[in-house]
């Protein structure tokens, strides 16, 4: 006999759209992070009325409700930290409207990021935010986390591409904020809601900007014999006012794992490479590529290769975008950090990360968005050993502290979620956090929606839980 809650959910959504058996729930207790939390039930709404109905049921039963797209998140944002209903938006995956001339699209939150770009590719447009998980992750998830990606260096992150949102508030109201037209009068509510990590409302429709694909793209692979030369190159490119479309760094350690996996021709004996895209009108791309290559050579690049054609480009980028998965070949588990630093501090920070790895005895791979100073050190460890986990967290905390000391931040694109809430006081005072909490409470007064995310519990800090089994392999940002 189903519980009253399950009965209500099945009545709203149909039997097929409600999961509540332990073996089913296990599939939804994790995401791309190392956290774990099992929901009481998993549901698949298909319409905005379903979403409103779910909120009503959650209110009636006084249990939490948490939205989730593809579950590729890297901070536990879409985990049911306190159980309750996990609402998966994968069935709300229709592109509702594409306005080619005005370069806008209206989508349901479950539309997969890459699917939108693919659907409009024939018009010469694309959705610019391109997290590495873009073949799986959803636009609803991107909006909630304010996702980035390699090409956000030149094109901006998700918030720069969102015009309007429709959502169900925890009170059950269906509201619209923003407008297709620019500059709707009033507060920038979309600016507040994008990146609020699912704590303010459940998205039902998203209006995004579409961006024209560049006329020309050149992909450069610069190969270096030392990490310092690589990072100094990034500093120099930035300081000279060159903004490539993307500027990614892969160190030798991750490079070897990637090459074994994709065979893109990455050099196996290098200390690091930079994968750089320059794009725009043909004439500009030529000269910019030459300029970038010259800077790489001035910093002792062993070789600067330019991808010959789109096949070669795609292969290099496939290597980059599947890198986290490839690292899974090296270790059962990894812990990925997402700290940000001013670009000028890149050389010192990479050196510090190496020292921290040596100090704690963990291999650390670095594959990250060098152009905007967004680090992704991957600390490889064995999650089955609890002592290792404690040391991994300690090592990671040292890296984060260093980022903050450099004037940086604790997360550039992965979100705070349930992973970094305890680190928030390193950046924000208690009164800063209280103001943010009051904003959350105004929209989400009973903590019904995605409870205990972003903001640390006032009582003490939460513990990071780790799943017992290997987790590497999922595509990730």
Partner 1 sequence: MSIASKTVAARLPDIVGPKHVTTDPAQVSAYAVDGRVPAAAVRPGSSEEVVEVVKYAAAEKLALIASGARTKLGIGSPPLRYDIALDLTRMDRVIAYDPGDLTLCVEAGIPLKKLSSTLAEHRQFLPLLVPYFDRATAGGTIASGVDSPLRQFFGTARDYVLGMEFVFGDGVHSKSGGRVVKNVTGYDLHKLMIGALGTLGVITRVNFKTFPSPVSTHGLLATFDSVEQAIGMRHSIAQSPLTPLTLEILSPRIAELFLSSATTRCETAIPSSAILSARHWTVAAAYAGRPEVLARYESELRRIAAECGAASVSVLDDNTRPAVWGRLRESLPILLDSSPATTIVKIGVLPNRMKEVLNTAVRAADAKQLPWAALARGLGVIYFALLPRERGDDSLREVATATNQIIAAVAAMEANATIPWCPPEWKSSVKLWGMERADIAQMKKVKKIFDPHGIFSPGRFAGGI
- By CB under 8 A, the residues from 211 to 270 that bind partner 1 are 212, 214-215, 235, 238-243
Does residue 192 belong to the site contacting partner 1 (CB under 8 A)? yes
**Count of helix runs (H) and strand runs (E) in the chain:** 15, 18
Sign of CA dihedral 192, 40, 434, 461: negative
Question: Smaller CB distance to partner 1: residue 31 or 115?
Answer: 31
100 is written with which tokens?
Answer: 């080619």
106 is written with which tokens?
Answer: 């209206």
Minimum CB separation from partner 1 for residue 76, in Å? 14
Does residue 35 belong to the site contacting partner 1 (CB under 8 A)? no
Q: Which of 38, 83, 135, 156 binds partner 1 (CB under 8 A)?
A: 156
- Cα(first)–Cα(last) distance of the chain, in Å? 42
Question: Smaller CB distance to partner 1: residue 40 or 196?
Answer: 196
Question: Smaller CB distance to partner 1: residue 263 or 351?
Answer: 351
Q: Binders of partner 1: how many residues, by CB under 8 A?
A: 86
Reduce the DSSP state of residue 30 to 3 states and report it. Answer: strand
Task: Report how far apart, in Å, the C-alpha atoms of 31 and of each of 68, 88, 471, 475 are.
Answer: 10, 13, 9, 11
- By CB under 8 A, the residues from 169 to 188 that bind partner 1 are 175-177, 179-188
Q: Which of 48, 321, 343, 376 binds partner 1 (CB under 8 A)?
A: 343
- By CB under 8 A, the residues from 450 to 469 that bind partner 1 are 454
DSSP secondary structure code for residue 364 in this structure? E
- By CB under 8 A, the residues from 383 to 442 that bind partner 1 are 407-416, 420, 424, 427-429, 431-433, 435-436, 438-440, 442
In sequence order, which residues have a C-beta less than 8 Å from that of residue 129 and are 6 or more positions away?
113, 142, 147, 148, 149, 151, 152, 155, 156, 157, 158, 161
Question: Smaller CB distance to partner 1: residue 148 or 252?
Answer: 148
274, 297 Cβ separation under 8 angstroms: no
Minimum CB separation from partner 1 for residue 163, in Å? 10
Question: Smaller CB distance to partner 1: residue 19 or 370?
Answer: 370
Does residue 336 belong to the site contacting partner 1 (CB under 8 A)? no
Q: Which stretch binds partner 1 (CB under 8 A): 6-14, 46-54, 224-232, 334-342?
A: 334-342
Does residue 352 belong to the site contacting partner 1 (CB under 8 A)? no
Residue in the structure block whose two tokens are 């100094």: 232
Reduce the DSSP state of residue 96 to 3 states and report it. Answer: strand
161, 209 Cβ separation under 8 angstroms: yes
- By CB under 8 A, the residues from 60 to 119 that bind partner 1 are 99, 101-104
DSSP secondary structure code for residue 197 in this structure? T
Q: Which of 39, 69, 76, 148 binds partner 1 (CB under 8 A)?
A: 148
Task: Report how far apart, in Å, the C-alpha atoms of 411 and of each of 272, 363, 372, 376, 379 are.
Answer: 23, 21, 12, 10, 16
Q: Which stretch binds partner 1 (CB under 8 A): 13-21, 253-261, 277-285, 309-317?
A: 277-285
């Amino acid at each position: 006999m189903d519980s009253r809650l399950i009965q209500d959910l099945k009545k709203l959504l149909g039997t097929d759209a409600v999961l509540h058996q332990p073996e089913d729930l296990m599939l939804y207790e994790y995401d791309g992070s190392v956290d774990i939390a099992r929901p009481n039930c998993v549901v698949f709404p298909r319409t905005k009325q379903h979403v409103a109905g779910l909120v009503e049921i959650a209110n009636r039963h006084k249990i939490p409700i948490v939205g989730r797209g593809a579950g590729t998140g890297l901070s536990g944002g879409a985990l049911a930290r306190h159980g309750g209903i996990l609402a998966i938006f994968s069935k709300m995956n229709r592109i509702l409207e594409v306005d080619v001339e005005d370069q806008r699209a209206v989508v349901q939150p479950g539309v997969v990021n890459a699917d939108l770009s693919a659907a409009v590719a024939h018009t010469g447009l694309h959705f610019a935010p391109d997290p590495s998980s873009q073949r799986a992750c959803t636009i609803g998830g991107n909006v909630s986390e304010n996702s980035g990606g390699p090409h956000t260096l030149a094109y901006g992150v998700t918030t720069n591409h969102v015009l309007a949102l429709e959502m169900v508030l925890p009170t059950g109201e269906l509201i619209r904020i923003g407008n297709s037209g620019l500059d709707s009068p009033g507060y920038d509510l979309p600016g507040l809601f994008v990146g609020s990590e699912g704590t303010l409302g459940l998205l039902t429709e998203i209006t995004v900007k579409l961006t024209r694909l560049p006329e020309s793209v050149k992909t450069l692979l610069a190969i270096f014999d030392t990490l310092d030369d690589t990072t100094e190159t990034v500093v120099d490119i930035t300081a000279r006012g060159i903004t490539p479309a993307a500027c990614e760094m892969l160190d030798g350690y991750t490079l070897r794992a990637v090459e074994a996996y994709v065979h893109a021709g990455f050099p196996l004996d290098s200390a690091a490479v930079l994968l750089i895209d320059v794009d725009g009108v043909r004439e500009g791309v030529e000269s910019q590529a030459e300029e970038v290559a010259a800077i790489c050579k001035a910093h002792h690049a062993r070789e600067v290769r330019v991808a010959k054609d789109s096949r070669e480009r795609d292969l290099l980028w496939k290597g980059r975008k599947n890198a986290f998965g490839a690292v899974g070949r090296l270790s059962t588990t990894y812990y990925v950090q997402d700290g940000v630093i001013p670009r000028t501090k890149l050389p010192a920070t990479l050196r510090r990360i190496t020292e921290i790895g040596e100090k704690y005895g963990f291999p650390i791979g670095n594959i990250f968005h060098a152009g905007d100073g967004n680090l992704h050190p991957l600390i490889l460890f064995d999650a089955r050993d609890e002592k290792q986990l404690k040391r991994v967290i300690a090592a990671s905390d040292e890296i984060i502290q260093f980022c903050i000391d450099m004037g940086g931040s604790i997360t550039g694109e992965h979100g705070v979620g349930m992973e970094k809430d305890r680190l928030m006081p390193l950046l924000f005072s208690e009164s800063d956090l209280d103001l943010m909490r009051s904003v959350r409470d105004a929209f989400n007064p009973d903590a019904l929606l995605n409870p205990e995310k972003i903001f640390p519990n006032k009582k003490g800090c939460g513990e990071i839980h780790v799943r017992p089994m290997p987790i590497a392999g999922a595509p990730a940002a």
